[in-house]
A and B are shown apart, each in its own frame.
Chain A
Amino acid sequence: KQEVTQIPAALSVPEGENLVLNCSFTDSAIYNLQWFRQDPGKGLTSLLLIQSSQREQTSGRLNASLDKSSGRSTLYIAASQPGDSATYLCAADQGGSEKLVFGKGTKLTVNP
């Protein structure tokens, strides 16, 4: 059974700082790992998808890495901005199935 853990649960940083969000998963037989962003009262916005054969993906100031063997993924945000404030969710599939298992998220606050 896949379990996904995200650390820290909350993070507050000053604007301009580079930061790393962590995600760990128990079942390394994944097909995909996906990072999402959720703003208060809103839906989930997909940020990055990393397939199991990939080591990292980049989109703008975001870089996500995947280490299947250790069951870890990180989301790196460069030069953080107040608009990056949101909850970031990591999700991994369970044993290559269609089912995404989510972590509880990291609530990020970027202070101006």
Chain B
Amino acid sequence: DTAVSQTPKYLVTQMGNDKSIKCEQNLGHDTMYWYKQDSKKFLKIMFSYNNKELIINETVPNRFSPKSPDKAHLNLHINSLELGDSAVYFCASSHRGRTEAFFGQGTRLTVV
């Protein structure tokens, strides 16, 4: 049973396109996150949702819009993709940051 699952695993797209990455967790956690891992492998938080409410919104371009239809799902929509958006995007979940965080396998986004 996959605890945190993301789709797709790989995404190659052209500049200017709009794309979405989906994430689902079956751990019963109330908080979900999106992290970005850049080309230097540095992981940084982008967004956090608790019970469908946005609680962390780092300085991310507004082309990135997270959506949480319920507390088990957190999707990431990216408009007008740019070359610099190429990275690995990880979804994660925990209980309000008070318990172990579990990560998905990542989505490798390549913008060409």
Contacts and interface: CB of A to CB of B under 8 A. Distances in A.
Contacts of A76: none
Interface in B88-109: 90, 92, 94, 96-106, 108
B103 A36 contact: yes
Interface string B27-64: 00001010100001111110010100001100000000
A54 to B, nearest CB: 13
Contact of B103 (A41, A43, A49, A105): A43
A91 B45 CA distance: 11
A92 B6 CA distance: 24
Contacts of B105: 42-43
A31, A93, A100, A101 — which one has the most chain B CB atoms within 10 A of its CB?
Answer: A100
Interface residues of B, number: 28
Given A36-B103, A42-B105, A43-B105, A100 B42 contact: no
A98 B55 contact: yes
A44 B41 CA distance: 12
A44 B42 CA distance: 13
Main secondary structure of the interface of A (DSSP, over half): strand
Contacts of A25: none
Contact of A49 (B42, B43, B99): B99
- Counting chain A residues whose Cβ lies within 8 A of the other chain, the interface size class is 20 to 34
A43 B90 contact: yes
Nearest to B31: A98
A89 B14 CA distance: 32
Interface of B: 31, 33, 35, 40-45, 48, 50, 55-56, 90, 92, 94, 96-106, 108
Interface of A: 31-32, 34, 36, 41-46, 49, 87, 89, 91, 93, 96-102, 104-105
20 contacts: A31-B97, A32-B99, A34-B101, A36-B103, A42-B105, A43-B103, A43-B106, A44-B92, A46-B103, A49-B100, A91-B43, A93-B97, A97-B97, A98-B50, A98-B56, A98-B96, A98-B97, A99-B48, A102-B42, A104-B40
